[in-house]
A and B are shown apart, each in its own frame.
Chain A
Amino acid sequence: MTAVISFLEQLGGRATGAIHRLGFASRFLLLTLRSSGMCFRRFSLVVREIYFAGVLSLIIILVSGLFVGMVLGLQGYDTLVRYGSSSALGVLVALSLVRELGPVVAGLLFASRAGSAITAEIGLMKATEQLAAMEMMAVDPIARVIAPRFWAGVISMPLLAAMFSAMGIFGGYLVGVRLIGVDEGSFWSQMQAAVDFHEDILNGVIKSVVFGVAVTWIAVFEGYDAPPTAEGVSGATTRTVVTSSLTILALDFMLTTFMFRGA
């Protein structure tokens, strides 16, 4: 009996702890947003972080996009040709990428590459007392260290998602038209007819912005909240990747039901 009680106590403790953390994280986000005015006046800081978060993720995003698009092309053709609709390959590839795979997969890759790097960097700065030193030098570490990284992530995500989708479509084109021999004209024309700017592309961009906010917020918070030890930082880095990935998938589901209801 006591074992059950203590188990329930533990569960309750964890739940309240999680809610505590969420509250702290939300306050942290608010602080970050409030300090953002100052960080935009020193835009060079944001530019620097865009380099580390965005530019250095470029290779993995472009290569992954290409491969995903090529696989879509192969598998899509295999399925469509059974119904004699192989000319709709362009539609399949484009819609899958622009609506879902672009924002989601780019988001997951971004979380694991850039998100973990941000968490590790901030965690390490906290562990080596660099953030405390900055505070003692009367420089707000949130405005100088956290906010630029946050905005860099939010700006980079939609761009990376768009690049992922574009590379994917190119990959689908390479496989479908060049390799397999689907008609080039119908590949592009059916795609253009089926992909709507407002419904599909804009919604995809909105998704990637939302994912960018979520991933970067989690990355920045986990780094700031990490225990100042080696295990603490590594645990925080792992948590960033896991939490970001789950959040992206959950948000994707919610956004998709909003956006593509009954389409």
Chain B
Amino acid sequence: METPGGDRLVEYKPRAFCRCHSVPTKPATDNLVEVDSVNFAYDSRQILKGVNLAIRRGQVVAIMGLSGCGKTTLLRLIGGALRPTQGEVRVGGKSVAKLNHDELFALRRKMGMLFQFGALFTDMSCYDNVAFQMREHTDLPEELIDDLVLMKLQAVGLRGAHRLMPSELSGGMARRVALARTAALDPMLIMYDEPFAGLDPVSMGVIGQLIRRLNDSLGATSIIVTHDVAEALQLVDYVYFMSDGVIITQGTPDELRVSDKPFVHQFVHGEMDGPMPFHYPAEDYARDLYSSEA
């Protein structure tokens, strides 16, 4: 079974890349990511209201909830693209918002993010997409990059497609190439923004398995933002459930499946009516029918 991480038998030393995979120094805390009482508002609209979570190293964690509950904002805060209006986001013990430009970029080189629908660079081939980070951040010679790119693509099953342009790929294939690109520099934290959105069942299963494989072989930590209940609960170690900017429940997938909290229950079992109402707010039905529509 070929995996991206397993191919580290090659002695390469990427520039500014810590050797944290070879000799793990005892980390101060077991948590890689800590979100501490974070508030976030955008244009006077409060998106996150006092969010607390901690993600342990090596875990695959899902953050679930409806669209607009703040999941993607949370990812952006962890990646340093946004700053919390209150509270602190810590990655590897360091507060992300307090990093200067160079430190932030150094941190980002150890993170990978898979965007919704892939976000492959459309003006270059799949090969160049995966090679992008290697060419930008390391001084590796082209022959070595060639081997690495093909290995990464092999791990996602698309080595034969390396010459294709993103526009020539199907949705599932594009997502897999994007996954290979995300894993290009063997990141220690990988974030997924709706990785299952819009995929057929086979591709969904493939992506799910690749996420797990990648996480375990790299010894990395993964955060998946999704509202795909079936796939997520099958795949992850821990779940945070968000609604309207706060975390309303958390636990292992099994705990969530049997949760009796009404909203969680409705979400997990896909019920038509519950805390999230079926009917859009409207006037009294009888009155509407019998009144004359002027």
Contact = CB atoms under 8 A, between A and B. Distances in A.
A136 B81 CA distance: 8
B115 A133 contact: yes
Interface string A163-190: 0000000000000000000000000000
Interface of B: 79, 81, 105-106, 108-109, 111-113, 115-117, 119-122, 132-133, 136-137
Contacts of A128: 117, 119, 122
Given A137-B108, A138-B105, A138-B108, A132 B133 contact: no
8 contacts: A125-B121, A128-B117, A130-B119, A132-B81, A134-B121, A137-B133, A137-B136, A138-B106
A124 B137 CA distance: 25
Given A128-B117, A129-B116, A136 B108 contact: yes
Contacts of A138: 105-106, 108-109, 136-137
Secondary structure at the B interface, as helix, strand, loop or mixed, is: mixed
Contacts of B115: 129, 132-133
Residue among A124, A130, A137 with most chain B CB within 10 A: A137
Interface residues of A, number: 13
A139 B79 CA distance: 14
Given A132-B119, A133-B115, A136-B81, 9 more contacts: A125-B122, A128-B117, A132-B115, A134-B121, A135-B81, A136-B108, A136-B112, A137-B132, A138-B106
B81 A130 contact: no
Interface of A: 124-125, 128-130, 132-139
B269 to A, nearest CB: 32
Contacts of A137: 108-109, 132-133, 136
A193 B137 CA distance: 58
Contact of B79 (A129, A130, A136): A136
B285 to A, nearest CB: 35
Nearest to A128: B119
A134 B115 CA distance: 11
Residue among A128, A130, A138, A139 with most chain B CB within 10 A: A138
Contacts of B120: 130
